Amino acid sequence: MRSKLSWIPFVPLTLAAAFCMLAQGMFEEGFVFGLSNLYLDYAFIGAVVLVFLFTLIFCLTDKRISPYYLPRRNYVAGIVGILLALVLAADGADMVIRLIGSGSLDVIKVIEAVLVLFSSIVFVVLGLSHSFKGADGKPMSLLSIVPALMCAVRMVTCFVEFTTISLRTADVCRLVCYIFATLFFFNYAVTLTLTKAKNAVKSCFIFGFPAAAALLGYSAYHLVYELDMLDPVANIRPAEMALMGIYIVAFLVELTIFVPDKSQVRIIEDGEADKTEEVLTDDRDSEDFLVNSTEENPEDMPSSYLTTADTSDYLYREVAPEEPAQNGAVTPDMDNYLTQIQQEDENSGDDRPVDYESRLDDIDRLILEISKTDE
């Protein structure tokens, strides 16, 4: 599958994007090829966009990838999801406390706080699902779209902040992170719920790789060079973005390993519930499906006849092959199924008659004589 080739440009471009952010704290402005911090931000965005373009090309030319996917057991994603849920819960609680303390009603902040708290619950469920349930469980509910809504609200918040400050001082990199994160988590929710869509799995690749590159590069700079040891709450947002990036990478690794081929997926349409579900077939030959899937012993089944079974009571028995006819001997007429010619054995002492008429009883012999006289 060509979609898996997206890892080739993702790794070096993610490292380049992270370097563009970390260089702003490592070196003085203008040290890297004479570029200012603003141009380094643009270089960071350019690396993320290149990841997006390469992934888009690989995925659009991939005709084999399945449109549906059942998540597998993924302990890394499960642990990171639970940690992300704890951080989101702390962030939501901090937002609620700040809103109550301010005494003012900001609708966007209230919606964001509610979505952050709901997202923490969703990531707890996702983390437990990755750790324990795996592919044998039921699909997630539509509540898994809440993280996408949270990222969308934060994207709107970034736009609102840009209207009050100069574009030169605006944090455009954070906006790019939330744009790709919103698109990924939306398609991620579609994939988890097995919603009928055309390119949900492909979209997880297309938007997941640039989202992970942006989130990891952006959070690395803020956690390394802007870490606030006096106020740990100020580090919640970069920690969220770092955990989101790791969670996306863990899911992309799982998706790369276990995503099925289109030929391995059979879609069953349920007319009563009007729902579409997926059944993944094993990588076995079609001849294997002729074998009974139960674990019962075939010898115990009443309709099973095996060549190794005892056939003494069946309606046939083995007989010794007949000796070839000697010279002058009469060959038995095997075409006549009503009679059987038997040769007398001189040594056996069997005095039974050979001809047909002598084998009849008296009544049959009389009927035969009457029929001859009539002729």
Q: How far apart are CA 180 and CA 178, in angstroms?
A: 6
Q: Is residue 75 part of a domain?
A: yes
Q: Which whole-number Å values give the CA distances from 158 to 164, 229, 318, 343, in the listed order?
A: 10, 25, 91, 110
Burial 78-106 (b: 16+ CB within 10 A, else e): bbbbbbbbebbbbbbeebbeebeeeeeee
Q: Which whole-number Å values give the CA distances from 344 to 301, 320, 347, in the listed order?
A: 47, 18, 9
Q: What are the residue ranges of helices labelled H in 70-133? A: 75-102, 107-128
Q: Is residue 202 part of a domain?
A: yes
Q: What is the pLDDT of residue 163?
A: 79
Residue 80 structure tokens = 């990171």
Q: Is residue 58 part of a domain?
A: yes
Q: What is the pLDDT of residue 259?
A: 86
Which one, of 55, 38, 42, lies nearest residue 16 by Cα? 42
Q: What is the pLDDT of residue 331?
A: 52
pLDDT along the chain (375 residues), means of 10: 88 93 82 82 93 94 85 90 94 91 84 93 90 66 88 91 76 91 94 84 93 94 86 88 95 90 67 43 39 40 43 47 52 48 48 53 73 68
Q: Is residue 88 part of a domain?
A: yes
SS3 250: helix
Secondary element (H or E) of residue 278 = strand 275-280
Q: What is the pLDDT of residue 375?
A: 59
Q: What is the pLDDT of residue 137?
A: 58
Q: What is the pLDDT of residue 219?
A: 92
Please give the full DSSP string across 304-321, using - where no structure is assigned.
---TTS--TTSS----PP
On whether the pTM is more than 0.85, the answer is no
Q: Is residue 101 part of a domain?
A: yes
Residue 372 structure tokens = 């001859």
Number of domains the chain is built from: 1
Give the domain extent around 176.
Answer: 2-280
Q: Is residue 89 part of a domain?
A: yes
Q: Is residue 365 part of a domain?
A: no
Q: Is residue 156 part of a domain?
A: yes
Q: What is the pLDDT of residue 176?
A: 92
Phi, psi of 174 (to 5 degrees): -65, -35
